[in-house]
Amino acid sequence: MAFEKTDETLAFLMRAFSEVLRTTGSDEVEQVLPWRSLWSDADAPDIRTIPESCAERCVQAYSLAFQLLNQAEENATAQLRRLAEDRGDLVEESGSWDHTIARAVAQGLEEADVAEGLATIRVEPVLTAHPTEAKRQTVLEHHRALYRLLVELENSMWTRGERADLEAEVRACIERLWRTGEIYLEKPELRDERRMVLHYLRNIFPRVLPRTEQRLRHAWSRAGFDPKRLEDPSARPRVSFGNWVGGDRDGHPGVTASVTRQTLEEFRQAALQLVDEGLKELAIELSLSSFRQNAPAPLMERIRVWSERLCEPGRRAIERNRDEPWRQWVNLLRAALPFEKRPPAGSFRRVSELVEQLEFSRDQLERIGAGRLARNDVLPVIVQLRTFGFHLATVDMRQNSSFHDEAIQQLAVLAGIDDAENYLDWSAEERRSFLERELKTRRPFVRSRDVTGDHARAVVDLFHVLSEHLELHGDDGLGGLIVSMTRNTEDLLGVYVLAREGGLIRYEEGEPVLPLPVVPLFETIDDLEAAPDILEDYLCHPVVLRSLEWQRRRRGEPLPVQQVMVGYSDSSKDGGIVASMWSLRRAQRRLAEVAERHGVRVRFFHGRGGTIGRGAGPTHRFVRALPPNTVRADLRITEQGETIRQKYANLVTASHHLELLSAGTLGAWLSDRGGREDPEELVHSMERLAQSSRRAYEDLVQGPGFVEFFENATPIDAIEVSRIGSRPSRRKGARSLDNLRAIPWVFAWNQSRFVLPGWYGLGAGLTELADQDPARFERLVESKRERSRWAPFHYLISNAASAFSTASLEIMERYAALASDLSHAEHIFERIRTEYERTGSMLERIYGGPLAETRPRVCQLIERRSIALKPLHHHQIALLRQWRQREEDDREELVPRLLVTVNAIASGLGVTG
């Protein structure tokens, strides 16, 4: 049914696109549009190559056609989900509230148990702007408008004339997209990325959250539970948002202290405007006349006190609406919003103060019997404040450990410390001794104005900005101090010393404490292996324990909380998908155990990318596959690049994804409460599978000639000159695999349809296990087929199967031919072909037949795209060959044409990196 609905919508959109092309003089392009059989009686041409006479326009047309397909699929999914809800069938939809609650009931849990879990849940998507969003902001706005029109057309109330007008608007929208073009002509700046993130935080999520909570309440009632349990906001899951744009400076020289200051201020102003709009609407709603009911005495007294407290703004707030005391009261609250950097006396300092006054407003409405208005009008404002506060989203600060080392060295040299110029070569013991000595003194290395050295200046200036913000506005808008490539405890203690230098350290009873969490980021497989020992050592340090306790009291947590970020990208780039997944799972389990021994709770922050090779996959399956006792009802997770658009651009889809995150977190909490554990025999099998698959993967990527093969058999060079994101594609600019970021690594393999990071090594690992221990292999396969599947293996195999199905041996062979002049190319491609065939064979054994038959929905989705992608790949290969044969000075004219193909193929695949 989903395919029928998609076909119906796609046929309408492609018919409209065809008309736009004909009426704008692009008949030749119109003749080669894909999927003609859906919307045209004419025979579909056999498109093998793009006509050279209109090549660039054809590629753009295909790119737009893929976007129309994406819109059709998204609309079909949303409409079918609505039908399922109407029929009461959502209980069958894995990951939904209905399904999660039904599973809890089936496990024998009572309503009170589920309610306890709901009140505990905390979910925080963190928006990042990694260079993976290939579409301009203007184009994204046009796509949103088009989707809204599709939703309107689903309404059966329209007359024929009204429907014709809507269809004409669709054609106009498609023409705008066709005439605009999709690629960045100039590299986007940070302000562009910040504007994109602000759009979601300011305009989308405030409208999405009420829908998400509404879906929860409906599912709760359908389960036969008491709806009154969920009336109080504290009884429902807590959703908040994080952000990296303007704070993430790892390898990004454009993120300066002034950029971070501006980001924090823009977010604060946007949040306050959001609050003001909510209060303005509330004032209109609470137009209760004193002639119809007497205002309670406490309300009138508070109006008097606050109008005097706010002086002239208070007088202006109550001079109108004299017979509407509730409206006067809300206008006083508006007058007390702290828009200024240094707000005047009487203004709110913290969002908790405003929440307290709104709770008072609820009580006063309850006193006159207006409980319905308290729930419908006041509660939504309180819920919005719990989510967005006066800060909109917490801004994380991320920096590489090596950058901090450079900063410390520069400061120590300025201070005249012996041998400081060799700090980077000191042993871990020497660094530890030095850092601990420094933490015992309040004096900085040098006065702030005397700091020189790029690294030292950048770090000290940042911490000055954070300290100032902390003093003025508190820590609500400040996230963690994330240390990427954490190698040892000294990398983390160094942050405390640098924080002292920037005035961020506070002192309690003469001892230093850091108000913001220091967050180790473990990314490579080796770092993940070392992570538990690093955390064990770190949690033994007095300054760490004091800081965690200070933060616990500030947040009102029952236990100190240590945030730990785990990266899904570099570990996959290091050792392949199987070793990455298992290393991450093993590390999380051990890290949680270490923290528990110290009386600390770990809050895991999952740094997932937008593709399977970087940790992506269905949200509900991802959460379900996390290790036992590691979620603890608290999920923090990145949303990167194009996944932000895919998940959150449209309200219905955005609400669904927030539901998947929240319901998945509840499901993990309930499972852990029920004593969930991993079967030991399956754990042992996965250990062996991870080891053997890693060997196969490393034998390939570390072999002779592989880097050259990668650079020739993929469009990595075209991707590196693209204008997709503001961040450089390499950490230090060096032409090596180690310095290449995981995003362009995955992006390049996807573009050339190898999709290698998503499946390579799995076939070798499964084959070795099946040959050496058939019984263990069969038990592992059974765990995938059983109704009560073992989530980690199910997640791994389903993701790898999707990646494998997206790969195309025919297309990758054509890209490999670009490297035909390299001596190792033929040998490398033959190894890839062998592993591809081996992986396909093993997946068929696991699924019990060909993937096209056992996973028809996924394979049909991919096949529809593959047909239209083929001519694009052929055209890109021809352009790459032409581009690479030219002299450096003569290449520039081909860049826009190449980037159009990169964008079109990304649109067709639905992913970049």
Report the catalytic residues: 130, 573
Residue 399's beta-bridge partner residues? 483
Between CA 589 and CA 281 the distance in angstroms is 47
Dihedral sign from CA coordinates of 14, 20, 26, 27 = positive
- In angstroms, the Cα distances linking 198 to 194, 284, 560, 838 are 6, 27, 31, 46
- Of 590, 473, 585, 599, whose CA–CA distance to 545 is shortest? 599
- Of 576, 638, 613, whose CA–CA distance to 746 is shortest? 613
Tokens of 363: 């009580």
DSSP three-state, residue 340: coil
Q: Are the C-beta atoms of 905 and 749 separated by less than 8 Å?
A: no
DSSP three-state, residue 212: helix
**Tokens 């609407």 found at:** 281
Q: Are the C-beta atoms of 531 and 584 separated by less than 8 Å?
A: no
Between CA 441 and CA 482 the distance in angstroms is 24
For the chain, how long is the longest CA-to-CA vector? 92
Long-range CB contacts for residues 218-221, cutoff 8 Å, separation at least 24? 218/85, 219/90, 219/96, 219/97, 219/98, 219/101, 220/97, 220/101
Q: Are the C-beta atoms of 513 and 550 separated by less than 8 Å?
A: yes
Residues belonging to the chain: 913
Residue 638's beta-bridge partner residues? 126
Tokens of 356: 């307290």
Return the CA Rg of the chain.
29
Between CA 425 and CA 409 the distance in angstroms is 10
Output DSSP code: residue 248.
Answer: B
- Of 313, 320, 270, 295, whose CA–CA distance to 333 is shortest? 313
DSSP three-state, residue 398: strand
b or e along 176-202 (b: 16 or more beta carbons within 10 Å of the residue's beta carbon)? bbbeebbbbeeebebebbbebbbbbbb
Strand 506-508, strand 511-513: pairing: antiparallel
Neighbours of 23 (CB within 10 A): 12
